[in-house]
């Protein structure tokens, strides 16, 4: 089940070209990993993996804030956030 | 038996919402289906007796993060018209890579599958005791991480006159 969610997130990451949609797909993949962690906590009878999920949520929140700020800055400078047209960001 | 029914119902809802999220061309519609997906994942946490994580999932993801997304989408005025169609070449390769990845992951999960013990209850009290007994340093570090994230966001979106 969590594998399927992760796979859908990955597929979405490949086929969408809107940067915000890609960020949402990353959120979906993180949630799938969280689900695997919680079920492993139930499997092994230990709470540490739930702590891990807690930290994953914290890092995901920070990541989303920074990512959205980056995209907002990008949008202000070029009026679109289509990732395939951002080739001048390549090194 | 009833938990089995609940499991399959929640799984179906989650997968359907995730699919409709990546296939919808309107960002706001796909955001709403992502919220549905997060709620059903929180239901899975409840089934696995992780009540604290279920509440936190709803508050943090379906509340805070999704409002942030909605705000940015509305600020940029995105709709289905200004997103181009995905490249045809991408579809085949993306589906192949995803299927390979899913089968590998499913193999790993299948190998470790045994009966669930269900001895733990992820209540807020138990999690808090564990967090502040053994995981104090990572907790404080995540506070520092948040401070850095806030500073970075402010720095990124500050109006700087001399650059532009």
pLDDT(A62) > 70: yes
Asked if residue A58 belongs to a domain, the reply is yes
CA A22/CA A31 separation, integer angstroms: 14
Prediction ipTM score? 0.78
CA B70/CA B59 separation, integer angstroms: 15
Number of structural domains in chain A? 1
Task: Tell me the CATH number at B25.
Answer: 1.20.120.1200
Residue B16, domain extent: 2-121
Quick one: pLDDT at residue B147? Answer: 92
Give yes or no for A86 touching B (CB within 8 A): no
Same domain, B139 and B113: no
Residue A31, domain extent: 2-86
Mutation site for A-interface testing, chosen from B17, B44, B70, B125 by largest number of A Cβ within 10 Å? B44
Question: What is the distance in angstroms between the Cα of A9 and the nearest Cα belonging to chain B?
Answer: 8
Mean model confidence pLDDT for chain A:
75
Asked if residue A19 belongs to a domain, the reply is yes
Contact A24 B31 (CB under 8 A): yes
Quick one: pLDDT at residue B164? Answer: 47
Contact B14 A9 (CB under 8 A): no
Same domain, B74 and B147: no
Q: What are residue A82's DSSP bridge partners?
A: A18
pLDDT in tens, chain B (164 residues): 777 788 788 888 888 888 888 777 788 888 888 888 888 888 888 887 888 888 888 888 888 888 888 888 888 776 655 555 555 566 777 777 777 877 777 777 667 655 555 566 667 787 888 888 888 888 899 999 999 998 988 888 776 655 54
CA B78/CA B24 separation, integer angstroms: 13
CB A38 within 8 A of CB A53: yes
């Amino acid at each position: 089940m969590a594998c399927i969610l992760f796979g859908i997130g990955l597929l979405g990451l490949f086929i969408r070209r809107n940067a915000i949609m890609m960020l949402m797909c990353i959120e979906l993949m993180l949630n799938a990993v969280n689900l695997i962690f919680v079920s492993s906590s139930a499997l092994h009878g230990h709470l540490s993996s739930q702590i891990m999920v807690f930290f994953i949520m914290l890092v995901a929140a920070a990541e989303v804030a920074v990512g959205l700020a980056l995209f907002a800055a990008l949008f202000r400078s070029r009026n679109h956030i289509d990732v395939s047209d951002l080739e001048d960001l390549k090194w | 038996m009833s938990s089995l029914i609940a499991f399959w119902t929640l799984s179906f809802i989650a997968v359907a919402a995730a699919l409709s999220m990546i296939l919808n061309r309107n960002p706001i519609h796909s955001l709403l289906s992502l919220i549905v997906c997060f709620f059903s994942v929180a239901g899975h946490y409840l089934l696995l007796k992780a009540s604290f994580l279920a509440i936190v999932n709803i508050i943090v993801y379906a509340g805070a993060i999704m409002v942030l997304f909605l705000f940015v989408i509305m600020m940029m005025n995105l709709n289905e018209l200004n997103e181009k169609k995905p490249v045809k070449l991408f579809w085949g390769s993306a589906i192949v890579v995803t299927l390979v990845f899913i089968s590998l992951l499913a193999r790993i999960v299948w190998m470790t599958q045994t009966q669930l013990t269900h001895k733990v209850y992820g209540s807020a009290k138990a999690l808090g005791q564990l967090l502040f007994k053994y995981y104090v340093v990572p907790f404080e570090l995540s506070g520092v991480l948040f401070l850095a994230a806030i500073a970075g966001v402010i720095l990124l979106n500050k109006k700087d006159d001399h650059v532009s």
